Amino acid sequence: MPSTTTLGPAAGRTDPSQPATPHGRLAAMTIAAMGVVYGDIGTSPLYSVREAFGHTGRLAVTDFHVLGILSLVFWALMLVVTLKYVVLILRADHRGEGGVLALATLALAGGDGSARRRALITGLAVMGLALFYGDGLITPAISVLSAVEGLGVVAPTLAHWSLPLAVLVLTALFLAQSRGTGKVGRIFGPIMVLWFLTLGVLGLAGVVQEPRVLLAVDPRYALAFAVEEGWLLFLVLGTVVLAVTGAEALYADMGHFGRRPIRIAWYGLVLPGLLLNYFGQGALLLRDPAAAANPFYLLAPEALRLPLVVLATCATIIASQAVISGVFSLTRQAIQLGFLPRMAILHTSAHTVGQVYIPRINALLLTGVLVLVLGFGSSSALAAAYGISVTGAMGIDAILALVVAVGLWRWGRVRALLVFGGLFLVDMAFFAANALKIPQGGWFPLLVAGLVYLTVLTWRRGRGVLYRRLYQDALPVSLFLERADRTPVRVAGTAVFLTGNLGTVPHALLHNLKHNKVLHERVILMTLIMEEVPTVAPEQRLQVEKLGKGFFCVTARFGFMDEPDVPRALEACRAYGLAVDLDETSYFLGRETLVPSSRPDLARWQEGLFIALSATALPATRFFRLPPGRVVELGTQIEI
């Protein structure tokens, strides 16, 4: 009988969300969180209040409107960021990891496992992934542009240099990605601490001069604005949402810092700094309605505006870096889960697994960001394109969190619906308001999200078709072993055949036997399974099954934050009786050449797209870290 053994304990990763953190490390993690987690939302004061009055073109700068908008901003920060993300969704900890894919995994774990439920939750996760790419393009463009446009406030004659300077800064930022963010990341936190302190001090000075602006804390001002303005409220919500963009990063980056440092940073400095600055800008508008042209920079004394432009540019670069790194990290997870073709993933840190660089994605992001900057020309124009992808992603988070609350937290349907259903309605109000901006630029992030969604959908469907074509008539391993004694020659060494189905004989093995007429002394049929979890526990990582006649089946499981490394996995088999000499091991891979079929299982356009995607996929040799000198590829042609 075949025997199955499981890999024993190995060094695992520490759950970063655990509260037992030394004070010194907690302080360092809190400061670091300010640099990465809050870069996006921390630069929103640059344009949020300005766009609330400038976007519609019909909102006069009156006391009633200023207090109404400030009240909307205040309660948006309280409900969307503080309550929804900081208090509630940060509780959804999946082995220390966060983000839409981890949240979807938790939602799946708390259900009945039905195919319909799984398909729905997976579809939502893919939609969230697609929307995040739209956000990843717009955030660097609008952030850097809004910062360098301060030059026009400091010296109007320099205003025409804002666009070339933004292009220069963004190009340098993307070209520097290959060097990694480790060294630069050490100063991200301190710079953002200085940024939030600056926001708070400037805002406090404004509030002291006009303390009645604090009346906006009263929600009745927001309600009165809604009743009085009616349809105009809907337009204004499309700009108020700019104050909460970046909130989803709180949860997405939980795996890097843990929930405790993120919460301490929010309550201790980020939220007070943001609120003081927003209220300070409101106080300035109460005193001088003409300051609506750029209340952020005009809030500062004239002598400090140029240093403020420099600091704001640094802050927006950090905010952009945080989003770019998030896109790299999420792309890596998507590749591991089979949502996207394999790509070259370079690790830029020997100590931090999350610091990765993906050249193809970096080139696509740089191209898209420059197209946005040059096409829209100003941060005000870009504001019309900003927000719809963010609010869509937030709505998906609310739905998945509701499922987790019912299935895992055992809240009960009524309680979960009241809390997350209410928060979902807030998200949808913002989403609907941003939908009005589709003709002015909101179509761009939707177009990007749609293209990403179709790419993921095509890749997953195509891989399913390819799997069926590869294995539908395959020879069972059991039948092959019965005939193995007829093989004329067994040669020394170990042959590893990577396969997606351990129950059937890989095509590469049959091709090798047909052409070379030999079998190795030891044959390992190996499959790699990418689980929908961040990491796989050490005791569940590996399974070894002895089939007899020198044949073994090895199943290696990896999470979407793990590094699939075949030689390392084979080394781990030594402790269980499968001693593999890596210097005497050959790896046999099947290379499929895809051609159009006369009777395709995919739509014609999907067929062509899938073949093109397959052609650009990174070879398995590099992705699974196989030694190139020991790899043998055997090709076959398959109709799709």
347 and 434 part of one domain: yes
In a domain, 5, yes or no: no
Angle between helices 359-376 and 115-148 in degrees, nearest 10: 50
491 and 389 part of one domain: no
Domain count, the chain: 2
160 and 122 part of one domain: yes
* pTM of the entire predicted model: 0.79
430 Cα distance to chain centroid: 21
Identify which of 435, 79, 101 has the alpha carbon closest to the alpha carbon of residue 271. 79
482 and 571 part of one domain: yes
For residue 347, count CB atoms less than 10 angstroms from its CB and return exposed for 0-12, middle for 13-18, buried for 19 or more.
middle
| Residue 437: strand, helix, or coil | coil
534 compared with 417, residue with greater pLDDT: 417
Cα separation, 544 vs 554, in Å, equals 5
Q: How confident is the model at residue 10 (pLDDT cuts 50, 70, 90)?
A: very low
| Residue 535: strand, helix, or coil | coil
16 compared with 107, residue with greater pLDDT: 107
| pLDDT the model gives residue 134 | 84
Cα separation, 484 vs 549, in Å, equals 8
CA distances from 188 to 104, 198, 348, 376, 378 (A): 30, 15, 17, 28, 26
Given a cut of 70, whether residue 339 has pLDDT beyond it is: yes
Tokens at 515, concatenated: 């052409």
| pLDDT the model gives residue 198 | 97
454 and 525 part of one domain: no
496 and 615 part of one domain: yes
In a domain, 635, yes or no: yes
379 and 299 part of one domain: yes
In a domain, 1, yes or no: no
535 and 428 part of one domain: no
339 and 426 part of one domain: yes
In a domain, 291, yes or no: yes
In a domain, 12, yes or no: no
Highest mean pLDDT among 68-72, 161-165, 502-506, 560-564: 68-72
| pLDDT the model gives residue 15 | 41
Given a cut of 70, whether residue 372 has pLDDT beyond it is: yes
Q: How confident is the model at residue 396 (pLDDT cuts 50, 70, 90)?
A: very high
CATH of the domain at 232: 1.20.1740.10
| pLDDT the model gives residue 7 | 30
Mean of pLDDT values over 392-407? 93
Which residue among 434, 460, 486 closes a domain? 460
427 and 490 part of one domain: no
Q: Using one digit for the tens of pLDDT, what is the confidence trace for 182-231?
A: 555 567 888 999 999 999 999 999 999 999 999 999 999 999 999 988 77
Given a cut of 70, whether residue 617 has pLDDT beyond it is: yes
Supply the range of the domain harboring residue 192: 31-460
Cβ atoms of 206 and 279 closer than 8 Å: yes
Cα separation, 344 vs 581, in Å, equals 27
504 and 398 part of one domain: no
Q: Using one digit for the tens of pLDDT, what is the confidence trace for 23-58?
A: 667 888 888 788 778 888 999 999 899 988 875 556
Which residue among 428, 460, 492 closes a domain? 460
Mean of pLDDT values over 341-364? 77
444 and 497 part of one domain: no
250 Cα distance to chain centroid: 12
Q: Using one digit for the tens of pLDDT, what is the confidence trace for 468-482?
A: 888 877 889 888 888
Query: Cβ atoms within 10 A of the Cβ of 116, count?
Result: 8
